[in-house]
Structure 1
């Protein structure tokens, strides 16, 4: 992933202190930040809606102009992924996860923002996050990476990973779908001209339990195939 800005040009990300509990969603939003994405749903099977927030800083110093390839202006403001469960007794939200890495900071003007409008959802008690990689210059590769997490005690455990990859020059495609509960993966290869992908099932090499903090940069995550 090439970067057009010099490293010294990108301001260091400064993350705020976020409350451990709050009666409202606004209580988790520090000054100078805003709620970019919000999803509610039951993550711990207690019949009460929990909340997932993507907080985005709004600092004009982090909006950089580019004179090289790629977008003329890039918003490099950092994001925070925050997950909070609602407590029945206190009726307050309790912070479960504060993550700074899964959603990578957008610092390359040759790449589109990895987080799209409908990238976060809660379905059947699971948290699903989709990231996109698309270069407007410098690379023919494009892919989406989708992570499915399930709450287990204080861990948001990775139970599913799906990656759909396309090479825009050759038309070659490759799809990976991993179930970390069964430790099985389906790998399919083909092309955009041939809709009949050839799937191959295999076992993954590791049975390690991955919590969300173990993933790191979601676009750079390498599954254990």
Structure 2
């Protein structure tokens, strides 16, 4: 009995410890800056109408500002070429109302988007939040189009292999639901390149798949396989709950396990 009490006490300790580490955000504020906690910084502030009320809302990406979480980046000759930030990122969606107040309607702090430094620490296994042009302008990693939220992630490993994704969310049933996911990957070999693409439409419950092999010397297609299939999707993928491995789980479940 004593062991059980100690075990549950330990679980409670862990629960409250994690709760203390979590950041507390206001539900409503007059300024976007009021949603940035102490020792954090904003990296993206993107404006656009997300709930079709003709008022500009805000997508805010913040990052912890801890200098101890800096990752040195070396080239093949072990020369230091850059210092990149591995601090945690959080994405917040703020609806602006007719009284010019900002309301917190969505929040992801589950490492759905991660910094370049964190991706390096993970040995390029998880895509990072990055401009799809691979420059340092992170504002290009988010766009708001036709009342939908687009988020871009990508990674290129030391072999030159590329993976990139575009997530599209729409505000439905008081949540931001994933309505589209496009994924592209490219593997470079000595004499050919292999390109894969998946395009999920969670509204029509369909996926388009393409596998393309290109001759590196002639740039001609060696094979080009395309197919489309209907999926039995019951899950709702919500922005608040996504992680850095959500995409790989979706692909595994609906592509490779079928």
After TM superposition, the score normalised by the length of structure 2 is: 0.72
Deviation (angstroms), 1:127: 0.1
Question: 2:126 matched to 1:99?
Answer: no
Provide Cα deviations, 1:164-212, integer angstroms capped at 9, x if missing partner.
1100224100111111000011101103434684321111242322211
Give runs of aligned pairs for residues 204-219 of structure 1, distance below 5 A: 204-217=231-244
Contact 2:41–2:64 (CA<8 Å) still a contact in 1?
Answer: yes
RMSD: 2.7
**Secondary structure of 2:24 counterpart:** coil
Of 131, 134, 141, 2:153 maps to 131
Provide Cα deviations, 1:13-32, integer angstroms capped at 9, x if missing partner.
x5432221111111111222
Deviation (angstroms), 1:72: 5.9
In structure 2, how many angstroms separate the alpha carbons of the residues matched to 1:59 and 1:39?
Answer: 23
Of 178, 182, 193, 1:158 maps to 178
Question: 2:205 matched to 1:175?
Answer: no
Partner of 1:199: 226
Structure that is richer in helix per residue: 2
Of 159, 166, 169, 1:146 maps to 166
Deviation (angstroms), 1:40: 0.8
Contact 1:133–1:219 (CA<8 Å) still a contact in 2?
Answer: no
After TM superposition, the score normalised by the length of structure 1 is: 0.82
Question: 2:42 matched to 1:27?
Answer: no
In structure 1, how many angstroms separate the alpha carbons of the residues matched to 2:161 and 2:72?
Answer: 25
Partner of 1:115: 130
With CA pairs under 8 Å and 6+ residues apart, which has the higher RCO, 1 or 2?
1
Question: 2:210 matched to 1:188?
Answer: yes
User: How many matched pairs?
Assistant: 210
Deviation (angstroms), 1:73: 3.4
- Cα–Cα, structure 1 residues 191 and 43, in superposed 2: closer, same or farther, change >3 Å? same
Contact 2:114–2:128 (CA<8 Å) still a contact in 1?
Answer: no
Deviation (angstroms), 1:122: 0.3
